Copies of this chain bind each other. A is one copy, B any other.
Amino acid sequence: MKIVVLKFGGTSVGTIKKIKKVAEIITDYKKKNYKVIVVSSAMSGVTNELIKKSKEISNNFCDTEHDVLVSSGEQVACSLIAGRLIHKGYKSRSWLSWQVPILTTGAYKNSRINKINKNKIIKFLDQGGIPIITGFQGINNENRITTIGRGGSDASAIMVAKFFKAKRCIIYTDVEGVYTTDPNKLKKAKKIRIISYEEMLEMASLGAKVMQPVSIQDARLNRIDIEVKSSFKKKSGTLITKRSNIFNNKIVTGISSTQNDSKVSLIGVKDKPGVAAAIFKPLSKNLINVDMVVQNISANGQETDLTFTIKTEDLNKTKKIIHHNNSINYRKLLFEKGVSKISIIGVGMITTPGVTFRMFQTLGNKKINIKVISTSEIKISVLIDKKDTQKALIALHKEFKLSQKK
């Protein structure tokens, strides 16, 4: 009998009605003779409410107690799911991370799962039980509750899938899957049926927001097939898998775009080792997230131009930091608000010549000026004027035939 891991996000268990629906999804898999392991987040809103309380207690609420506090949310959700399954006549129970146990390493608020003891869960599965495991948490070697920093309950689900050698990990969420581009921005966006880890990583970090990159990376390293689907609609979602499982001949899988970005250019920077670090270190220290970084080859071997993008909300802070940074020399500093990054993503482009050209031509035909270009093996990103974003999305979506049925 194959093991399947079902993970439910906060919105999927956000109300009692939704928890009842989740119980139906779970029993559907059970009826299909799967061994089902469930991982759940807290009911939506609960974690934020708890964090709000902690901030009222102290503007510097300690990390150890933070983890005790917020981990209670998953405990509530899991007991309610298990209670519903028992009500429906199934054998089920909640498994709190210390009961499994799920062992973590690293700092409080930012731990990572490094071991899951399987014995008790395997025994419970063999008895026909459906274990409901608390996501987003574990215990460390001091027997204290820790929470998973990045990826949260998704990361928990993927590690559970890894340790139990699950056939598949299904992430139930409030979207139907991964789209060729943000459906809120482009109505013609289509749901992607199958996508590689690598493409998904590029989509995620560029704003697809369905899953945290760290969780996709965990899945990729452990070769776990992930399906992202909606807990509200009975439709197939998006399968995230290894490249060799994908047989379609799409060149471009999806298009992502950002908004509210600002461009910062340092002109005439002394081109010597360590200069980039000198620029970015204080930004990183101040929690300013630097996205696209482009540096041109220095013509005279002495100077170079360096451009990067940040969120516009961080612009004033960034200006101050650069002005006060005595360890760098440059001739000129340029800022531009209201830029947008458009990226096309697809593993097919490695083997297909001319994709870059087609992208630039498409934008050129629409009189959209390209400010900066950056490429990787499976992604081409350009920086354009924010006002052109929608026009660019429509044109590129059409050019790469993303609205067509796959």
Contact = CB atoms under 8 A, between A and B. Distances in A.
Number of copies of this kind of chain in the complex: 2
29 contacts: A20-B57, A57-B80, A57-B87, A58-B84, A58-B86, A58-B87, A60-B87, A61-B87, A62-B83, A62-B87, A65-B80, A65-B82, A65-B93, A65-B94, A68-B75, A68-B82, A68-B96, A69-B75, A69-B76, A69-B79, A69-B83, A72-B72, A72-B75, A72-B76, A72-B79, A75-B75, A96-B145, A98-B98, A99-B143
B68 A94 contact: yes
Contacts of A54: 79-80, 83
Interface in A144-162: 144-145
Given A16-B53, A58-B87, A62-B86, 5 more contacts: A16-B56, A61-B87, A62-B83, A65-B82, A72-B75
Looking at A71, A76, A78, A143, the one whose CB has the most chain B CB atoms below 10 A away is A76
Contact of A83 (B58, B96, B143, B145): B58
Looking at A62, A65, A87, the one whose CB has the most chain B CB atoms below 10 A away is A65
Interface string A129-171: 0000000000000011100000000000000000000000000
Contacts of A16: 53, 56-57
A66 interface: yes
Interface residues of A, number: 37
Contact of A57 (B19, B62, B96, B143): B19
